Protein backbone atom coordinates (compact mmCIF):
# COMPACT_ATOMS: atom_id res chain seq x y z
CA UNK A 1 0.00 0.00 0.00
CA UNK A 2 1.43 3.38 -1.04
CA UNK A 3 1.71 6.38 1.24
CA UNK A 4 -1.02 8.25 -0.69
CA UNK A 5 -3.43 5.33 -0.29
CA UNK A 6 -2.70 5.24 3.43
CA UNK A 7 -3.41 8.98 3.77
CA UNK A 8 -6.63 8.65 1.80
CA UNK A 9 -7.72 5.78 4.06
CA UNK A 10 -6.99 7.83 7.17
CA UNK A 11 -8.94 10.79 5.80
CA UNK A 12 -11.92 8.56 4.98
CA UNK A 13 -11.86 7.10 8.50
CA UNK A 14 -11.72 10.62 9.95
CA UNK A 15 -14.72 11.66 7.88
CA UNK A 16 -16.57 8.52 8.96
CA UNK A 17 -15.75 9.22 12.61
CA UNK A 18 -16.91 12.83 12.31
CA UNK A 19 -20.12 12.07 10.43
CA UNK A 20 -21.23 8.86 12.14
CA UNK A 21 -19.52 8.11 15.41
CA UNK A 22 -20.07 11.58 16.84
CA UNK A 23 -23.79 11.36 16.19
CA UNK A 24 -25.43 11.45 19.63
CA UNK A 25 -25.74 8.03 21.19
CA UNK A 26 -23.45 6.15 18.81
CA UNK A 27 -20.22 6.19 20.80
CA UNK A 28 -19.13 6.93 24.34
CA UNK A 29 -19.69 10.70 24.24
CA UNK A 30 -23.46 10.42 23.93
CA UNK A 31 -25.83 13.40 24.01
CA UNK A 32 -27.67 13.31 27.38
CA UNK A 33 -31.01 14.38 25.91
CA UNK A 34 -30.72 11.66 23.28
CA UNK A 35 -30.22 9.13 26.07
CA UNK A 36 -33.27 10.56 27.81
CA UNK A 37 -35.40 10.06 24.70
CA UNK A 38 -34.08 6.52 24.39
CA UNK A 39 -34.98 5.88 28.05
CA UNK A 40 -38.50 7.25 27.48
CA UNK A 41 -39.04 4.67 24.75
CA UNK A 42 -37.59 1.85 26.84
CA UNK A 43 -39.76 2.71 29.85
CA UNK A 44 -42.86 3.07 27.66
CA UNK A 45 -42.34 -0.49 26.39
CA UNK A 46 -41.10 -2.31 29.46
CA UNK A 47 -41.75 -0.08 32.48
CA UNK A 48 -43.45 -1.78 35.40
CA UNK A 49 -42.84 -5.32 34.12
CA UNK A 50 -42.07 -7.26 37.29
CA UNK A 51 -40.03 -9.95 35.54
CA UNK A 52 -37.46 -7.31 34.58
CA UNK A 53 -37.48 -5.63 37.99
CA UNK A 54 -36.73 -8.94 39.74
CA UNK A 55 -33.23 -9.19 38.30
CA UNK A 56 -32.43 -5.58 37.44
CA UNK A 57 -31.01 -3.52 40.37
CA UNK A 58 -33.66 -0.79 40.43
CA UNK A 59 -31.98 2.39 41.79
CA UNK A 60 -34.96 3.28 44.01
CA UNK A 61 -34.71 -0.05 45.83
CA UNK A 62 -31.02 0.46 46.52
CA UNK A 63 -31.74 3.98 47.77
CA UNK A 64 -34.51 2.63 49.98
CA UNK A 65 -32.08 0.23 51.64
CA UNK A 66 -29.66 3.09 52.32
CA UNK A 67 -32.49 5.21 53.76
CA UNK A 68 -33.47 2.43 56.17
CA UNK A 69 -29.86 1.95 57.29
CA UNK A 70 -29.40 5.68 57.92
CA UNK A 71 -32.72 5.83 59.74
CA UNK A 72 -31.69 3.02 62.07
CA UNK A 73 -28.34 4.67 62.73
CA UNK A 74 -29.51 8.28 63.25
CA UNK A 75 -33.18 8.26 64.16
CA UNK A 76 -33.74 7.29 67.80
CA UNK A 77 -37.18 8.87 68.11
CA UNK A 78 -39.97 6.39 68.78
CA UNK A 79 -43.71 6.59 69.34
CA UNK A 80 -45.77 4.12 71.26
CA UNK A 81 -48.93 2.54 69.95
CA UNK A 82 -50.98 4.80 72.24
CA UNK A 83 -49.53 7.87 70.54
CA UNK A 84 -47.34 8.88 73.51
CA UNK A 85 -43.79 9.75 72.68
CA UNK A 86 -41.25 7.52 74.38
CA UNK A 87 -37.89 8.84 75.60
CA UNK A 88 -35.62 9.61 72.68
CA UNK A 89 -34.33 12.53 70.67
CA UNK A 90 -35.61 16.06 71.10
CA UNK A 91 -37.11 18.01 68.19
CA UNK A 92 -33.90 19.93 67.42
CA UNK A 93 -31.79 16.77 67.56
CA UNK A 94 -34.22 15.03 65.23
CA UNK A 95 -34.00 17.88 62.72
CA UNK A 96 -30.18 17.90 62.84
CA UNK A 97 -29.96 14.13 62.47
CA UNK A 98 -32.54 14.20 59.69
CA UNK A 99 -30.51 16.84 57.84
CA UNK A 100 -27.38 14.72 58.36
CA UNK A 101 -29.16 11.69 56.91
CA UNK A 102 -30.30 13.78 53.94
CA UNK A 103 -26.78 15.10 53.35
CA UNK A 104 -25.22 11.62 53.49
CA UNK A 105 -27.87 10.13 51.25
CA UNK A 106 -27.58 12.95 48.70
CA UNK A 107 -23.80 12.74 48.72
CA UNK A 108 -23.80 9.00 48.12
CA UNK A 109 -26.36 9.37 45.34
CA UNK A 110 -24.35 12.12 43.65
CA UNK A 111 -21.11 10.12 43.85
CA UNK A 112 -22.81 7.02 42.45
CA UNK A 113 -24.35 9.04 39.63
CA UNK A 114 -21.07 10.73 38.77
CA UNK A 115 -19.14 7.46 38.79
CA UNK A 116 -21.63 5.62 36.58
CA UNK A 117 -21.90 8.60 34.25
CA UNK A 118 -18.10 8.82 33.95
CA UNK A 119 -17.88 5.14 33.06
CA UNK A 120 -20.71 5.27 30.53
CA UNK A 121 -19.30 8.34 28.79
CA UNK A 122 -15.71 7.10 28.50
CA UNK A 123 -16.16 3.58 27.17
CA UNK A 124 -17.66 2.57 23.83
CA UNK A 125 -21.38 1.81 23.93
CA UNK A 126 -21.60 1.73 27.73
CA UNK A 127 -24.03 4.63 27.43
CA UNK A 128 -26.60 1.83 27.20
CA UNK A 129 -26.09 1.32 30.94
CA UNK A 130 -27.03 4.94 31.52
CA UNK A 131 -30.14 4.55 29.37
CA UNK A 132 -31.28 1.55 31.44
CA UNK A 133 -30.63 3.42 34.70
CA UNK A 134 -32.70 6.39 33.51
CA UNK A 135 -35.53 4.09 32.43
CA UNK A 136 -35.49 2.37 35.83
CA UNK A 137 -35.87 5.76 37.53
CA UNK A 138 -38.93 6.59 35.41
CA UNK A 139 -42.28 5.30 36.62
CA UNK A 140 -44.88 6.48 34.14
CA UNK A 141 -46.09 3.32 32.41
CA UNK A 142 -46.85 1.41 35.61
CA UNK A 143 -48.87 4.42 36.85
CA UNK A 144 -50.87 4.47 33.65
CA UNK A 145 -51.53 0.71 33.79
CA UNK A 146 -52.73 0.91 37.40
CA UNK A 147 -54.90 3.97 36.74
CA UNK A 148 -56.44 2.22 33.76
CA UNK A 149 -57.53 -0.54 36.16
CA UNK A 150 -58.94 2.12 38.49
CA UNK A 151 -60.93 3.61 35.63
CA UNK A 152 -62.38 0.23 34.62
CA UNK A 153 -63.23 -0.64 38.23
CA UNK A 154 -64.99 2.70 38.71
CA UNK A 155 -67.03 2.06 35.57
CA UNK A 156 -68.17 -1.22 37.13
CA UNK A 157 -68.68 0.50 40.52
CA UNK A 158 -66.27 -2.01 42.12
CA UNK A 159 -65.06 0.32 44.88
CA UNK A 160 -63.04 -2.34 46.72
CA UNK A 161 -60.95 -2.93 43.59
CA UNK A 162 -60.61 0.83 43.08
CA UNK A 163 -59.25 1.32 46.59
CA UNK A 164 -56.83 -1.59 46.24
CA UNK A 165 -55.41 -0.30 42.94
CA UNK A 166 -55.37 3.33 44.05
CA UNK A 167 -53.67 2.94 47.43
CA UNK A 168 -50.10 2.26 46.11
CA UNK A 169 -50.32 5.51 44.12
CA UNK A 170 -51.40 7.71 47.04
CA UNK A 171 -49.92 5.85 50.03
CA UNK A 172 -47.77 8.88 50.89
CA UNK A 173 -50.89 11.01 51.42
CA UNK A 174 -53.67 8.62 52.46
CA UNK A 175 -54.04 5.77 54.89
CA UNK A 176 -56.11 2.84 53.75
CA UNK A 177 -58.78 3.90 56.25
CA UNK A 178 -58.97 7.30 54.54
CA UNK A 179 -59.68 5.66 51.19
CA UNK A 180 -62.36 3.44 52.72
CA UNK A 181 -64.32 6.56 53.68
CA UNK A 182 -64.44 7.78 50.07
CA UNK A 183 -67.11 6.79 47.60
CA UNK A 184 -67.30 7.02 43.81
CA UNK A 185 -66.73 10.73 43.14
CA UNK A 186 -64.22 11.05 46.00
CA UNK A 187 -62.21 8.11 44.67
CA UNK A 188 -62.38 9.57 41.16
CA UNK A 189 -61.01 12.89 42.43
CA UNK A 190 -58.26 11.03 44.30
CA UNK A 191 -57.43 9.11 41.11
CA UNK A 192 -57.08 12.38 39.21
CA UNK A 193 -54.72 13.64 41.91
CA UNK A 194 -52.80 10.37 41.63
CA UNK A 195 -52.50 10.89 37.87
CA UNK A 196 -51.09 14.37 38.34
CA UNK A 197 -48.65 13.36 41.11
CA UNK A 198 -47.60 10.24 39.22
CA UNK A 199 -46.79 12.22 36.09
CA UNK A 200 -44.79 14.80 38.04
CA UNK A 201 -42.88 12.33 40.20
CA UNK A 202 -42.49 9.50 37.71
CA UNK A 203 -41.89 11.36 34.46
CA UNK A 204 -41.32 15.11 34.53
CA UNK A 205 -39.14 15.45 37.66
CA UNK A 206 -36.66 12.66 36.72
CA UNK A 207 -36.45 13.96 33.16
CA UNK A 208 -35.99 17.56 34.32
CA UNK A 209 -33.17 16.86 36.77
CA UNK A 210 -31.41 14.45 34.43
CA UNK A 211 -31.57 16.98 31.60
CA UNK A 212 -30.25 19.70 33.91
CA UNK A 213 -27.55 17.88 35.93
CA UNK A 214 -27.17 14.47 34.34
CA UNK A 215 -27.11 11.18 36.23
CA UNK A 216 -25.91 12.77 39.52
CA UNK A 217 -28.86 15.16 39.52
CA UNK A 218 -31.28 12.35 38.71
CA UNK A 219 -29.96 10.13 41.50
CA UNK A 220 -30.09 12.94 44.08
CA UNK A 221 -33.68 13.77 43.11
CA UNK A 222 -34.67 10.11 43.31
CA UNK A 223 -32.96 9.65 46.68
CA UNK A 224 -34.76 12.67 48.17
CA UNK A 225 -38.06 11.49 46.68
CA UNK A 226 -37.66 8.02 48.17
CA UNK A 227 -36.76 9.46 51.55
CA UNK A 228 -39.78 11.74 51.46
CA UNK A 229 -42.12 8.85 50.65
CA UNK A 230 -40.60 6.79 53.46
CA UNK A 231 -41.08 9.47 56.12
CA UNK A 232 -44.51 10.57 54.89
CA UNK A 233 -45.77 7.01 55.19
CA UNK A 234 -44.24 6.73 58.65
CA UNK A 235 -45.77 10.06 59.70
CA UNK A 236 -49.23 8.78 58.78
CA UNK A 237 -48.74 5.95 61.25
CA UNK A 238 -46.69 7.82 63.89
CA UNK A 239 -47.28 11.61 63.66
CA UNK A 240 -44.91 12.36 66.55
CA UNK A 241 -41.91 11.26 64.44
CA UNK A 242 -42.33 13.97 61.82
CA UNK A 243 -39.30 16.09 62.79
CA UNK A 244 -36.68 13.66 61.48
CA UNK A 245 -38.32 13.62 58.04
CA UNK A 246 -38.79 17.40 57.74
CA UNK A 247 -35.45 17.98 55.93
CA UNK A 248 -36.47 15.39 53.34
CA UNK A 249 -39.92 16.87 52.75
CA UNK A 250 -38.49 20.39 52.58
CA UNK A 251 -35.85 19.42 50.02
CA UNK A 252 -38.44 17.47 48.05
CA UNK A 253 -40.61 20.61 47.82
CA UNK A 254 -37.61 22.50 46.42
CA UNK A 255 -36.73 19.83 43.86
CA UNK A 256 -40.36 19.38 42.77
CA UNK A 257 -41.23 23.09 42.44
CA UNK A 258 -40.05 23.61 38.85
CA UNK A 259 -41.19 20.17 37.55
CA UNK A 260 -44.59 20.79 39.16
CA UNK A 261 -44.94 24.16 37.40
CA UNK A 262 -43.76 22.68 34.10
CA UNK A 263 -46.27 19.84 34.42
CA UNK A 264 -49.10 22.30 35.07
CA UNK A 265 -48.14 24.17 31.89
CA UNK A 266 -48.09 20.89 29.92
CA UNK A 267 -51.53 19.95 31.27
CA UNK A 268 -52.98 23.32 30.25
CA UNK A 269 -51.49 23.04 26.76
CA UNK A 270 -52.70 19.44 26.42
CA UNK A 271 -56.21 20.47 27.49
CA UNK A 272 -56.54 22.45 24.24
CA UNK A 273 -56.55 19.11 22.39
CA UNK A 274 -59.19 17.43 24.60
CA UNK A 275 -62.87 18.32 24.10
CA UNK A 276 -64.93 19.43 27.07
CA UNK A 277 -62.07 20.71 29.23
CA UNK A 278 -62.23 23.93 31.25
CA UNK A 279 -58.94 25.64 30.42
CA UNK A 280 -59.85 28.89 32.16
CA UNK A 281 -60.74 26.99 35.33
CA UNK A 282 -57.39 25.19 35.20
CA UNK A 283 -55.52 28.50 35.00
CA UNK A 284 -57.54 30.06 37.81
CA UNK A 285 -56.95 27.13 40.13
CA UNK A 286 -53.21 27.27 39.51
CA UNK A 287 -53.16 30.81 40.90
CA UNK A 288 -54.63 29.72 44.22
CA UNK A 289 -52.89 26.36 44.77
CA UNK A 290 -49.40 25.35 45.81
CA UNK A 291 -49.70 22.00 43.99
CA UNK A 292 -49.91 23.34 40.47
CA UNK A 293 -50.12 20.07 38.54
CA UNK A 294 -53.03 18.78 40.65
CA UNK A 295 -54.81 22.12 40.32
CA UNK A 296 -54.30 22.27 36.54
CA UNK A 297 -55.55 18.74 35.89
CA UNK A 298 -58.47 18.98 38.31
CA UNK A 299 -59.39 22.42 36.98
CA UNK A 300 -59.30 21.23 33.37
CA UNK A 301 -61.81 18.51 34.33
CA UNK A 302 -63.79 20.99 36.46
CA UNK A 303 -63.64 18.77 39.52
CA UNK A 304 -65.14 20.31 42.65
CA UNK A 305 -62.66 19.65 45.49
CA UNK A 306 -64.91 21.31 48.09
CA UNK A 307 -67.47 18.48 47.81
CA UNK A 308 -65.42 15.31 47.20
CA UNK A 309 -67.97 12.95 48.71
CA UNK A 310 -70.99 13.86 46.58
CA UNK A 311 -71.97 11.34 43.97
CA UNK A 312 -72.57 12.46 40.42
CA UNK A 313 -75.95 11.92 38.84
CA UNK A 314 -74.57 9.43 36.34
CA UNK A 315 -71.82 6.89 36.94
CA UNK A 316 -70.65 7.36 33.37
CA UNK A 317 -69.48 10.87 34.18
CA UNK A 318 -66.70 9.55 36.43
CA UNK A 319 -65.47 7.23 33.71
CA UNK A 320 -65.50 10.02 31.13
CA UNK A 321 -63.66 12.37 33.49
CA UNK A 322 -60.93 9.81 34.09
CA UNK A 323 -60.68 9.08 30.38
CA UNK A 324 -60.19 12.79 29.67
CA UNK A 325 -57.66 13.03 32.49
CA UNK A 326 -55.72 10.07 31.07
CA UNK A 327 -55.83 11.64 27.61
CA UNK A 328 -54.47 14.94 28.99
CA UNK A 329 -51.60 13.08 30.67
CA UNK A 330 -50.77 11.13 27.51
CA UNK A 331 -50.78 14.27 25.36
CA UNK A 332 -48.62 16.05 27.96
CA UNK A 333 -46.09 13.25 27.69
CA UNK A 334 -46.07 13.55 23.90
CA UNK A 335 -45.55 17.31 24.19
CA UNK A 336 -42.66 16.80 26.62
CA UNK A 337 -40.97 14.23 24.38
CA UNK A 338 -41.49 16.46 21.34
CA UNK A 339 -39.96 19.41 23.18
CA UNK A 340 -36.86 17.42 24.14
CA UNK A 341 -36.53 16.01 20.63
CA UNK A 342 -36.81 19.52 19.22
CA UNK A 343 -34.02 20.73 21.51
CA UNK A 344 -31.77 17.84 20.38
CA UNK A 345 -32.42 18.56 16.70
CA UNK A 346 -31.88 22.28 17.22
CA UNK A 347 -28.57 21.73 19.00
CA UNK A 348 -27.22 19.58 16.18
CA UNK A 349 -28.66 21.74 13.42
CA UNK A 350 -26.77 24.84 14.53
Is 14 within a domain? no
Per DSSP, helices labelled H in the chain are 3-16, 32-46, 50-55, 59-74, 91-121, 127-137, 141-155, 159-170, 176-181, 184-199, 205-237, 242-271, 279-287, 292-301, 315-349
Task: Kindly provide the b/e burial profile for residues 277-304, where b requires at least 16 CB atoms within 10 angstroms of the residue's own CB.
Answer: bbbebbbebbeebebbbbbbbbbbbebe
SS3 86: coil
Q: Tell me the pLDDT tens digit for each residue of 143-152.
A: 888 888 888 8
Is 269 within a domain? yes
Is 299 within a domain? yes
* Residue 28 pLDDT exceeds 70: no
Is 4 within a domain? no
pLDDT for the residue numbered 94: 87
* Residue 257 pLDDT exceeds 50: yes
Spatial contact of 113 and 218, defined as CB atoms under 8 Å apart: yes
pLDDT for the residue numbered 249: 92
Higher model confidence: residue 308 or residue 45?
45
Q: Tell me the pLDDT tens digit for each residue of 98-109.
A: 999 999 999 999
Total tally of structural domains belonging to the chain: 1
pTM across the whole model: 0.82
Predicted confidence band of residue 209 (pLDDT cuts 50, 70, 90): very high
Other beta carbons less than 10 A from residue 35's beta carbon:
25
Phi-psi bin for 276: left (phi > 0), alpha (psi -120 to 50), beta?
A: left
Q: Tell me the pLDDT tens digit for each residue of 79-88.
A: 444 444 445 5
Task: Give the residue among 166, 189, 185 at the shortest CA–CA distance from 176.
Answer: 166
Is 44 within a domain? yes
Is 295 within a domain? yes
Other beta carbons less than 10 A from residue 119's beta carbon:
14
Predicted confidence band of residue 218 (pLDDT cuts 50, 70, 90): very high
Is 82 within a domain? no
Distance CA(152)–CA(226), nearest Å, equals: 29
Higher model confidence: residue 316 or residue 155?
155
* Residue 316 pLDDT exceeds 50: yes
**What mean pLDDT do residues 111-140 have?**
87
Higher model confidence: residue 87 or residue 230?
230
Task: Give the residue among 296, 248, 313 at the shortest CA–CA distance from 109.
Answer: 248
Is 23 within a domain? no
Domain, as residue range, for 327:
30-77+88-349
Predicted confidence band of residue 5 (pLDDT cuts 50, 70, 90): low
Task: Kindly provide the b/e burial profile for residues 125-163, where b requires at least 16 CB atoms within 10 angstroms of the residue's own CB.
Answer: eebeebbbbbbbbbbbbbbbebbeebbebbeeeebeebb
Distance CA(101)–CA(30), nearest Å, equals: 33
Q: How many residues does the chain have?
A: 350
* Averaged pLDDT of the chain: 80
Amino acid sequence: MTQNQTMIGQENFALFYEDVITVPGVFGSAEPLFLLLFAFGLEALYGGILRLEDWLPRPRKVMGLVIVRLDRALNNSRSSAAGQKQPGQGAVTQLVNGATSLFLLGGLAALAGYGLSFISRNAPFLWLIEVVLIALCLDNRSHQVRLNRVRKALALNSLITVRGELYPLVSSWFRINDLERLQGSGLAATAVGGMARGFVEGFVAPAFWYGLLGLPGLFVQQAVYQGTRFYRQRQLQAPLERNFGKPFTGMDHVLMALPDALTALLFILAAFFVPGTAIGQAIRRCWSSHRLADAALGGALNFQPDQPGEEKAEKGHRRKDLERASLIVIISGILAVGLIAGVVLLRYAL
